[in-house]
Copies of this chain bind each other. A is one copy, B any other.
Amino acid sequence: MLLSPKTDQLIKALQVLPGVGPKSAQRMVLHLLERNRQGGLQLAAAVQDCLQSVDHCARCRVFTEEPVCRLCKDPRRNAKTLCVVEAPGDLMAVEQAGSYDGRYFVLMGRLSPIDGIGPAELGIPQLLKIIEEDAVTEVILATGSTVEGEATAYYISEQLKSSPVQVSRIAHGIPMGGELEYVDGNTLAHALAGRQVIEND
């Protein structure tokens, strides 16, 4: 025991947060007790409120406390383009990039038969239904470039083979500002295979 049972308990409880170990949890507890009890109580209320009311969007499966999320309800978003991602964090990353104005579908995972995660768990039947009902014209597969991510993208593209929708995969290659010398061979191989012709007018 360091100080008292209740501070110890909080030090332990804070370690459910990713990236928080015993030392930083200790620092957080002392910070809240010494400098920001009000902020700490607001944090407790926000955690409770968020975890008790946030569920999945009925349409795209992202996290939201409403039945349908704001992106699915937004009439300014292009409903004809659908970007398929693995997780809400991926959706947020694409949103923050700021160049995409279509809609999303969040798989909440990737195909992994060994863990019992098949098409049904990823909501793929629901995805196919949305594509048909909304007459989506392009599906962008933005799953990760891991083995499972690639397999998931491949599976979805196979399901859409007979449909008129255009299916695309996000590009893999050299990150912006990346130096060729320091890029791994796999990425470089993808960047070469995905080369695009420069058309000068």
Q: Which of A87-119 contact B (CB under 8 A)?
A: 87-89, 91-92, 95-96, 108
When the two chains form their complex, are residues A18 and B33 in contact, meaning their CB atoms are under 8 A apart?
no
Which residue in B1, B50, B96 is a CB contact (below 8 Å) of A6?
Answer: B50
When the two chains form their complex, are residues B4 and A70 in contact, meaning their CB atoms are under 8 A apart?
yes
Q: Which residue of B lies closest to A12 (CB)?
A: B46
When the two chains form their complex, are residues B4 and A46 in contact, meaning their CB atoms are under 8 A apart?
no
A54-B13 in contact given A19-B27, A34-B87 (Cβ < 8 Å): no
Closest-CB distance, A59 to chain B (whole angstroms): 14
Across-interface contacts of A2 in B (CB, < 8 A): 92, 95-96
* Chain A: number of interface residues, binned into ranges: 35 or more
Which residues of chain A have a CB within 8 Å of any CB of chain B? 1-7, 9-10, 12-14, 16-19, 24, 26-34, 36-37, 39-54, 62-66, 69-70, 87-89, 91-92, 95-96, 108
Show 22 residue pairs from A and B whose CB-CB distance is below 8 angstroms, ordered by the A residue: A2-B95, A2-B96, A4-B54, A4-B63, A4-B64, A7-B64, A9-B49, A10-B50, A13-B42, A13-B45, A13-B46, A16-B32, A18-B24, A18-B28, A26-B89, A27-B89, A30-B89, A33-B88, A34-B88, A40-B51, A44-B44, A44-B47
